[in-house]
Amino acid sequence: MNASNGGGAFLRIESVSKDFGDFRAVDQVSLDVMRGEIFALLGSSGCGKSTLLRMLAGFERPSAGRIVLDGVDLAGRPPYERPVNMMFQSYALFPHLTVWDNVAFGLRRDKLPKDQIAARVDEMLRLVQLVPYARRKPHQLSGGQQQRVALARSLAKRPQLLLLDEPLGALDRKLREDTQIELVNIIHEVGVTCVMVTHDQEEAMTMASRIAVMSEGRFLQVGSPADIYENPANRFVADFIGNVNLMEGKVVVDAADHAEIECADVVHRVAHGITGYQGEPVVVALRPEKIHLSAQSAPVPADDRNRVQGMVRALSYFGGYTLYHLELPSGAALKVNLENDTRQREGAPAQGDLVWAHWLPTSQVVLKS
């Protein structure tokens, strides 16, 4: 689902910065999040994700900039006066309270009438499918069940904005994958707008309609998962998301509808103009799954561009695909994915084989060096 409903931005972050002493943790970040959208902040440790989330929640005050939720400037509003709920990585469930009482906690503190509390808690437990577990204590639940209790508790007060900081960080891989989909379904069912933080790109790509890639307090790119993967804005994003081959080179042909880039081992032909780069250094980014391999004995690809001969140095079997590490004539490495579409992998190149690697002129992304 994408967030086409509602028109303008529901959450607006305007040039927000956060300084801790003379260290700038968040640096002039601007962002519009649509109503009902799941938005992910993705970046490596220390890049400022949690700090930004904590400013949305009201636990930190921005050093500069504005945060506007549904048209209301949140400046000066303490966390409990914001229609926002933040779910922490550790879940912070009360160990001595039952599942039911954990979910009811915030509602009781708000002094809601008893029957309303009961109705709301039961509704939330149904939503996260934990009705049979209502009387248990957190330590009697699995990690995934605890995560769902925390989610039910976060949603019980019907926040307009749900903030998730590494929501699945404590779960093992398989459970994580199942829970990601479950979480998305619940969030969409409730219709709450969500900003989540993760350093796991697969998680961001599975759950979010849009992602901001962060580094050193800044947004390097904001876009859909496909956008960020297929059209990375710069070298950092290309390298950070997924696997990629980066080849430095020089633009030697710079036409309206195509270009050629000379790199150490290969001349790249790309099927689009890149205008104005003539003679300049660039980086060609090429994803491993967009490269094809042919045995040396197979007919040589006709065009002498977009092809290079290499030797299979190593291969890593990943089940669905095998990652080949080729050594190119200059000694540089080239990573290639080969889909394992048969069980026996007939004719697949083996270690030590000489092969041709080739690709289409629509496969590369040319980036400023």
Ligand X SMILES: Nc1ncnc2c1ncn2[C@@H]1O[C@H](COP(=O)(O)OP(=O)(O)OP(=O)(O)O)[C@@H](O)[C@H]1O
List residues near ligand X by CB under 6 A: 20, 23, 25, 43, 45-51, 199
By beta-carbon proximity to ligand X, the closer residue of 66 and 199 is: 199
* Binding of Mg ion by 85 (CB under 5 A): no
Contact partner at residue 198 from ligand X, Mg ion, none, CB < 5 to 8 Å by partner kind: none
Stretch that binds Mg ion, among 10-18, 43-51, 133-141, 321-329 (CB under 5 A): 43-51
Q: How far is the CB of 90 from ligand X (least distance, A)?
A: 12
Q: How far is the CB of 175 from ligand X (least distance, A)?
A: 20
Cα of 187 vs its chain's centroid, Å: 17
Please give the helix or strand (H or E) that residue 207 lies within, else none: helix 201-207
CA distance 334 to 325: 6
Q: What is the DSSP string of 216-268?
A: TTEEEEEE-HHHHHHS-SSHHHHHHSS--EEEEEEEEEE-SS-EEEEESS-EE
Number of residues that bind Mg ion (CB under 5 A): 1
Q: How far is the CB of 25 from ligand X (least distance, A)?
A: 3
By beta-carbon proximity to ligand X, the closer residue of 117 and 213 is: 213
CA angle 200/201/206 to nearest 5° reads 105
Stretch that binds Mg ion, among 48-56, 93-101, 241-249, 351-359 (CB under 5 A): 48-56
Contact partner at residue 150 from ligand X, Mg ion, none, CB < 5 to 8 Å by partner kind: none
Please give the helix or strand (H or E) that residue 150 lies within, else none: helix 143-156
Among 28, 104, 20, 33, which residue's Cα sits nearest to residue 66? Answer: 28
By beta-carbon proximity to Mg ion, the closer residue of 51 and 245 is: 51
Looking at residues 281 to 300 of the shown chain, list those that interact with Mg ion (rule: CB under 5 A).
none
Adjacent-strand bridge partners of 33: 11
Among 181, 227, 174, which residue's Cα sits nearest to residue 42? Answer: 227
By beta-carbon proximity to Mg ion, the closer residue of 19 and 289 is: 19
Contact partner at residue 249 from Mg ion, ligand X, none, CB < 5 to 8 Å by partner kind: none
Stretch that binds Mg ion, among 47-55, 68-76, 135-143, 344-352 (CB under 5 A): 47-55
Contact 202, 169 (CB under 8 A): no
CA distance 48 to 26: 6
Contact partner at residue 199 from ligand X, Mg ion, none, CB < 5 to 8 Å by partner kind: ligand X
Q: How far is the CB of 196 from ligand X (least distance, A)?
A: 12
Q: Could you tell me the maximum CA-CA distance found in the chain, to the nearest angstrom? A: 79
In whole angstroms, how large is the CA radius of gyration of the chain?
25
Q: How far is the CB of 64 from ligand X (least distance, A)?
A: 16
Q: Out of 16, 33, 41, 50, name the contact with Mg ion by CB under 5 A.
A: 50
Q: Which residues bind Mg ion (CB under 5 A)?
A: 50
